[in-house]
Structure 1
Amino acid sequence: MPETDREFAGSIPENYDRYLVPLIFESFAQDIAQRVAALSPRTVLETAAGSGVVTRALAPRLSPDASYVVTDLNQPMLDYAAMRQAADNRISWRKADALALPFEDAAFDLVCCQFGVMFFPDRQSGYREAKRVLKPGGHFLFNVWDRIEENVFANDVTNALAELFPGDPPRFLARTPHGYHDPALIQSELEKAGFSSVAIETRAGQSRAPSPRHPAVAYCQGTPLRNEIEARDADKLEAATNHAASRIANRHGNGEVAAKIQAHVIVAVA
C-alpha cells in the first residue's frame, strides 16, 4: 500500500467529515454504536477513529462510568474529531498506531474500528494487537467495505477518473477502502491472530446526496484519492471532481441522488 493511501492532511479531514461522513459513514456508525452498546462494555478502545463519527454516535450510549479511549494514527484527523466532540470526561484522545498499541495487555472489554483495518499495512499485526489489549472474552467489532462494484458512487468516481487519466488511472478507492472484502480471508486472518469466534454479516444500505457534485467532492477531495489526482496533475483536482460529478449525474440524475452501499460487519471474540 502506498504511504499516500494513509495520508489524511490539509483540507481532507474537513471535506471528509462534511461530505463523506453523511454520504456513507453515518448509518454504519450508528450500527456500530448500537452493537457496541448492546454488549455493555465498561472499557472501550476505538482505533482508526478518523473524524470521530463513531465516537459521536457511541459516547451517548455508553454507561456514565465507562472509559472510552479514542485513537488514530493521523493527528489532523484526531484533532478534528476531538474538536467536533462535546466535552466528556469519559473520553481520552491519543495518537496511536493500531499495529503497536501503547496499552497494557487485557486492558479493554471491547475494541472497535470503523472502516480502518483496510488501511493497516499489516492486518495480522493489527489483529494481534487488538486481541492482546482485550480481556479474555472481550469483543473486537469492526466493519469493512464490500467490493467496489457493490458501492456504486465509489465505482462511478473510479471509472470517471479512469476516463480522465487513461494511461495511469487513480485506483485508491478500489485498492484500499474496497480492497479487503473477502469474508473467508477476513475470518482466516482473525483466527490466525487468535480470535476464537468470528461472525461476519453483510449489510447493504443507500447512499444519498443532495446533488451529483456531493459524492464527487466527497471522494475526490475528502479522501487520499485527492493525493493521487494531484500527483498526476496538480492543476486538475477541480476538473477531476467536475468530471466525476458529470458521470454521476449522467447515471443518477441532476437532483438528489441515491445508490447502493454495502459492507461487512465483523464481531470477533478474544
Structure 2
Amino acid sequence: MSRLGKLDHGRLLEIAAGTGVVTRALARTLPLSVEIVATDLNQPMLDLAASRLTGRPVEWRQADANSLPFDADVFDAVLCQFGVMFFPDKARAFREAFRVLKPGGRLLFNVWTDIMENEFTHVVTEAVAGFFPDDPPRFFAQVPHGYHDSSEIREALNAAGFERIDMERVKRHSRAESARAAAIGLCQGTPLRNQIEERDPGRLDEATEAAAAALSKRFDDSRIEGQMCALVVEAWRPIGTLAANFDRA
C-alpha cells in the first residue's frame, strides 16, 4: 500500500480484485476521501469479497479488464494485484487502464517473475512433469509465470500511451505448514489439477504425493519456506494527453 504514496483523495480502480484481499488492505489504509471501486470478471468472487468487508463503502462492479465500463479520465490510480498474467489481451487491457486514468494518473500492478525464481511452483512443476514426459503440465510456467519479460511489458505499456515506467524486482518467502500441504494446494487447488486430470484422471493423488516428496526433499518436511519473486510495475499517464483522441479498439 505504501506504493500508492500520497493518494489522499480522488478515485482508485482495482482490477481483478478476486476475493478482496487487496481491497480490504486498501480500505484499511486509504483515507475515506479516496473512493475505491473494486472490479472482477467473476461476480461470485465479488459477492464473497463484499461479504468480507465491513466498515467502509466500496463500489463493487463486475468488469472485464479488456473493456472497462467506465468513462475516460475518471480515476487517479488503477491497481491490479497478480491479475495481468491472466488477461487474454494484455495490450488492450493496458489501453483501457490508460483510457480511464486521469492525465497524470498511475497504473500499478505486479506479475510473477520466471518460475525458476519461485521455488514452490518450480519444484512442483518439475515433479509433476515427470509423470507426463511426452506432454508435461506447464500451467504455472505458462500462465502465472509466463508474463515477466520486462522489455515486453515496457513495450506494451509504451504502446498504450504510458511514458514514465518504473519496475522493481521484489523477493519474499512463501511458507507452508508442510510439504504435503503445499503440494495439495498447488496440485489440487489450482488449474494444474485440470491439466493433470486431462492427461490421466486417475493419477492426481499420485502426482500430488510426488510433488510432496520433491518439496520435502528440497526443504524440511516440517514448516517449509521457499523464495518467491515478483516484478512490480508503475506506469504513469502523461499530463496533457487526451483520452478523446484515444482509439479504444
Question: 1:170 is paired with a residue of what secondary structure?
Answer: coil
* Counterpart Cα distance in 2 of 1:85 and 1:227: 31
Match of 1:78?
A: 46
Question: Could you list the per-position Cα deviations for residues 117-168 of structure 1 after superposition, in whole angstroms to 9, with x for gaps in the alignment?
Answer: 1111111100000000000000100001000000010101100110122222
* Counterpart Cα distance in 2 of 1:129 and 1:150: 30
Q: TM-score, structure 2 length as denominator? A: 0.90
1:38: how far off? 4.0
Match of 1:187?
A: 154
| Aligned-residue identity in percent | 51
Alignment of 1:7-18 (within 5 A): none
Match of 1:64?
A: 32
8 Å contact kept, 1:47–1:70: yes
Deviates most, 38-47 or 60-69: 38-47
CA RMSD, 1 decimal: 1.5
8 Å contact kept, 1:37–1:61: no
1:227: how far off? 1.8
Q: Residue 64 of structure 2 aligns to which amino acid in structure 1?
A: D
Match of 2:17?
A: 49
* Counterpart Cα distance in 1 of 2:44 and 2:205: 23
Structure 1 position 258 matched with structure 2 position 239: no
Question: 1:185 is paired with a residue of what secondary structure?
Answer: helix
1:41: how far off? 4.7
8 Å contact kept, 2:14–2:37: yes
8 Å contact kept, 1:116–1:144: yes
1:186: how far off? 0.9
1:266: how far off? 0.5
Q: Whose helix proportion is higher, 1 or 2?
A: 1
* Counterpart Cα distance in 2 of 1:102 and 1:245: 44
Deviates most, 144-153 or 56-65: 56-65
The runs of 5 or more residues in structure 1 that have no matched partner are 1-32
Deviates most, 112-121 or 158-167: 158-167
- How many residue pairs are counted as aligned between the two chains? 237
1:95: how far off? 1.3
Q: TM-score, structure 1 length as denominator? A: 0.83
8 Å contact kept, 2:73–2:101: yes
